[in-house]
């Protein structure tokens, strides 16, 4: 691709927000998060914070796209990132660092921010990793069992699972873990002490050379019960009943432990009938005068009935699904959550980046507070205050139903200036994964609360027009549009919003 020389102000040129402003650039990675924040420092120069850079590992063309995005980040920042924050270990938040490795390894990174759950010296973090590891092993066993039984569902599960581990060993990086190792190596400040990891409630962090901005760490909570709280019906806009996570977990683990997959402890299974009425496959293959061969496809040969009539692995399918989902959610719930407070505004505006935090993580913010000094006066700020003053909400987990809380979340965001940024590719999610991202109820409530000012990565306009939704109010909408810019190139890599 030919390189064009860019003048200041043109897309691709250095990103430097006007005085007393911050610009938030959301990249359209496909299905994933990548946010570049530019703050203006006292010396007139920008300070850059990058929050995540990833694309789902199954996203077609994600590698090429992330390469371009990494190049854009390098150009836009003049090869300098003051802070790189990684919220959690999922491909859709990490893979950009791998696909864009050539650019990233030339970018000077001053500080890497990781949640305390990534600290190898933290006992609680290690306990979490252990729970996680047990679940992973149970799931692996369950998937192996499904494979062995010729269950097609195994493939779908493997896909969901790959998301957590980072399946590719591409670019010499061993999945998500390898990417984090590389980031640690690229960063100038080494993460050697417990205080190098971000912990909720720690003193608000000032950005280097920037006055009037304080960064608060809200999550992940230092409490396993909160992290394990993945769903709470009361707090969700929508919920479907499902086999409980623990049942799923136990059933799979039981089978994993006695090496009889499919098999194992009956009481944890989801069979529709009592076991007295079941015929084990081995017995069915032997007897009953060919009845089962004829109708139930026992050998998968011609002249044998279809396999789909059999249900002996159905329980495993459902349980493994739930387990895969719970593993996924557990990682989401370890998301680093950051709130940037612009202290020169009154009331002080807040930019909230929640990663993919789920219910327990959100709930825990209600218990966090800070005592800060502004001048001689002491001031106590709570997580709830930050929610109330939020003017920019990075929508959690691509708009899924379990990552934007109701009462202790979106309903608290009362600022008339509220704008939401939603990184998603809903067409891809539905077509490829059958996910409803964003969830319809969350989407409509966001549109109401933000009065139409919901900026989606998959809806970057092709031309100059940004369509006005019916929720928008005329006067506000014009002000909003003035603060909005987007990449007009055919790639449409980014859209950005500036807050004064």
| Residue window 66-105: x/- pattern of binding to Zn ion, with contact defined by CB under 5 A | --------------------------x-------------
| Residue window 298-337: x/- pattern of binding to Zn ion, with contact defined by CB under 5 A | ----------------------------------------
Which of the ranges 135-143, 146-154, 218-226, 352-360 carries the binding residues for Zn ion, by CB under 5 A?
Answer: 352-360
Q: For residues 258 and 250, is the Cβ–Cβ distance under 8 A?
A: no
Q: How far apart are CA 106 and CA 95, in angstroms?
A: 17
What pairing do the DSSP bridges indicate for beta strands 377-382 and 213-219?
A: unpaired
CB of residue 52 to Zn ion, shortest distance in Å: 8
CB of residue 161 to Zn ion, shortest distance in Å: 15
Judged by beta carbon, residue 92 or residue 312, the one nearer Zn ion is 92
In which element (H, E) is residue 35 found?
Answer: strand 34-40
Q: Is 52 in the site for Zn ion (CB under 5 A)?
A: no
Which of the ranges 135-143, 224-232, 349-357, 366-374 carries the binding residues for Zn ion, by CB under 5 A?
Answer: 349-357
Q: How far apart are CA 432 and CA 427, in angstroms?
A: 8
In which element (H, E) is residue 370 found?
Answer: strand 369-374
Burial of 195 (0-12, 13-18, 19+ CB in 10 A): exposed
CB of residue 332 to Zn ion, shortest distance in Å: 7
Q: For residues 119 and 110, is the Cβ–Cβ distance under 8 A?
A: no
Judged by beta carbon, residue 356 or residue 385, the one nearer Zn ion is 356
Q: How far apart are CA 256 and CA 262, in angstroms?
A: 9
Burial of 278 (0-12, 13-18, 19+ CB in 10 A): middle
Q: Is 356 in the site for Zn ion (CB under 5 A)?
A: yes
CB of residue 33 to Zn ion, shortest distance in Å: 6
Burial of 192 (0-12, 13-18, 19+ CB in 10 A): exposed
What residues pair up with 24 in beta bridges, in sequence order? 37, 497
Token couple for 234: 């009361």
Q: Is 443 in the site for Zn ion (CB under 5 A)?
A: no
Peptide bond into 347 cis (omega under 30): yes
Judged by beta carbon, residue 57 or residue 356, the one nearer Zn ion is 356
CB of residue 334 to Zn ion, shortest distance in Å: 12
CB of residue 398 to Zn ion, shortest distance in Å: 6
In the region spanning residues 258 to 297, those forming contacts with Zn ion, defined by CB under 5 A, are none
Judged by beta carbon, residue 92 or residue 321, the one nearer Zn ion is 92
Judged by beta carbon, residue 356 or residue 425, the one nearer Zn ion is 356
Which of the ranges 43-51, 233-241, 355-363, 432-440 carries the binding residues for Zn ion, by CB under 5 A?
Answer: 355-363
Q: Determine the Cα angle at 107 with ends 211 and 71, to 5°.
A: 105
Judged by beta carbon, residue 89 or residue 92, the one nearer Zn ion is 92
Judged by beta carbon, residue 245 or residue 356, the one nearer Zn ion is 356
CB of residue 66 to Zn ion, shortest distance in Å: 14
Judged by beta carbon, residue 141 or residue 401, the one nearer Zn ion is 401
Q: How far apart are CA 54 and CA 33, in angstroms?
A: 6
Chain length of the chain? 500
Which of the ranges 76-84, 201-209, 219-227, 348-356 carries the binding residues for Zn ion, by CB under 5 A?
Answer: 348-356
In the region spanning residues 476 to 495, those forming contacts with Zn ion, defined by CB under 5 A, are none
CB of residue 400 to Zn ion, shortest distance in Å: 9
CB of residue 396 to Zn ion, shortest distance in Å: 9
Judged by beta carbon, residue 72 or residue 356, the one nearer Zn ion is 356
Judged by beta carbon, residue 356 or residue 458, the one nearer Zn ion is 356
CB of residue 145 to Zn ion, shortest distance in Å: 28
Judged by beta carbon, residue 59 or residue 268, the one nearer Zn ion is 59
Nearest to 446 by CA among 419, 486, 467: 419
Size of the site for Zn ion (CB under 5 A): 2
Nearest to 461 by CA among 430, 496, 423, 495: 495
What residues pair up with 342 in beta bridges, in sequence order? 213, 349
Sign (positive or negative) of CA dihedral 249, 255, 258, 264: positive
Which of the ranges 3-11, 146-154, 353-361, 424-432 carries the binding residues for Zn ion, by CB under 5 A?
Answer: 353-361
Rounded alpha-carbon distances, angstroms, from residue 74 to 2, 79, 81, 484, 491? 17, 5, 9, 22, 17
Judged by beta carbon, residue 317 or residue 356, the one nearer Zn ion is 356
CB of residue 40 to Zn ion, shortest distance in Å: 29
- Which residue, chain included where needed, has tokens 């969700």? 236
CB of residue 324 to Zn ion, shortest distance in Å: 15
Q: Please compute, for residue 287, the number of CA atoms within 13 A of its CA located in the half-sphere on the CB side.
A: 5
Which of the ranges 106-114, 216-224, 340-348, 356-364 carries the binding residues for Zn ion, by CB under 5 A?
Answer: 356-364
Q: Determine the Cα angle at 167 with ends 252 and 226, to 5°.
A: 55
- The residues that touch Zn ion, with contacts defined as CB under 5 A, are 92, 356
């Amino acid at each position: 691709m030919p390189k064009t020389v860019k003048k200041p102000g043109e897309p691709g040129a250095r990103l430097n927000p006007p005085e007393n402003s911050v610009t938030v650039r959301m990249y359209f990675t496909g299905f994933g998060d990548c946010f570049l924040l530019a703050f203006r420092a006292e010396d007139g120069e920008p300070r850059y914070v990058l929050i995540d850079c990833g694309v789902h590992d199954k996203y077609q063309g994600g590698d090429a796209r992330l390469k371009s995005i990494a190049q854009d980040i390098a150009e836009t920042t003049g090869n300098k990132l003051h802070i790189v924050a990684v919220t959690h270990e999922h491909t859709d938040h990490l893979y950009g660092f791998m696909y864009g490795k050539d650019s990233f390894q030339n970018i000077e990174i001053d500080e890497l921010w990781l949640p305390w759950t990534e600290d190898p010296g933290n006992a609680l973090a290690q306990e979490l990793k252990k729970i996680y590891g047990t679940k992973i092993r149970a799931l692996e066993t369950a998937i192996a069992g499904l494979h062995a039984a010729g269950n097609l569902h195994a493939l779908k599960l493997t896909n969901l699972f790959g998301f957590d581990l980072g399946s590719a060993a591409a670019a010499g990086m061993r999945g998500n873990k390898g990417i984090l190792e590389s980031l640690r190596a690229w960063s100038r400040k080494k993460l050697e002490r417990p205080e190098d990891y971000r912990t909720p409630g720690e003193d608000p962090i000032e950005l280097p050379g920037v006055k009037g901005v304080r960064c608060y760490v809200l999550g992940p909570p230092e409490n396993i019960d909160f992290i394990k709280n993945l769903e709470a019906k009361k707090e969700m806009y929508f919920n479907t009943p499902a086999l409980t996570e623990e049942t799923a977990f136990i059933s799979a683990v039981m089978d994993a432990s006695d090496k009889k997959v499919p098999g194992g402890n009956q009481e944890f299974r989801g069979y529709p009938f009592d076991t007295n009425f079941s015929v084990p496959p081995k017995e069915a293959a032997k007897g009953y005068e060919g009845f089962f061969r004829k109708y139930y496809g026992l050998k998968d040969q011609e002249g044998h009935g279809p396999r789909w009539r059999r249900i002996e692995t159905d329980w495993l399918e459902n349980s493994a699904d739930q387990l895969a989902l719970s593993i996924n959610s557990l990682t989401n719930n370890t998301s680093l959550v950051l709130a940037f407070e612009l202290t020169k505004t009154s009331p002080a505006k807040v930019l909230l980046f929640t990663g993919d935090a789920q219910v327990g993580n959100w709930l825990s913010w209600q218990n966090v507070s800070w005592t800060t000094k502004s001048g001689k006066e002491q001031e106590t700020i709570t997580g709830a205050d930050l929610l109330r003053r939020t003017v920019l909400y990075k929508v959690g987990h691509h708009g899924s139903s379990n990552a934007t809380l109701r009462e202790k979340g979106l309903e608290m965001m009362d600022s008339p200036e509220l704008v939401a940024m939603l990184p998603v590719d809903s067409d891809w999610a539905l077509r490829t994964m059958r996910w409803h991202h964003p969830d319809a109820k969350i989407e409509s409530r966001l549109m109401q609360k933000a009065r139409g000012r919901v900026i989606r990565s998959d809806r970057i306009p092709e031309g100059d027009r940004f369509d006005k939704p019916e929720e928008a109010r005329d006067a506000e909408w014009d002000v909003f549009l003035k603060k909005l810019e987007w990449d007009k190139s055919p790639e449409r890599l980014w859209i950005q919003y500036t807050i004064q």
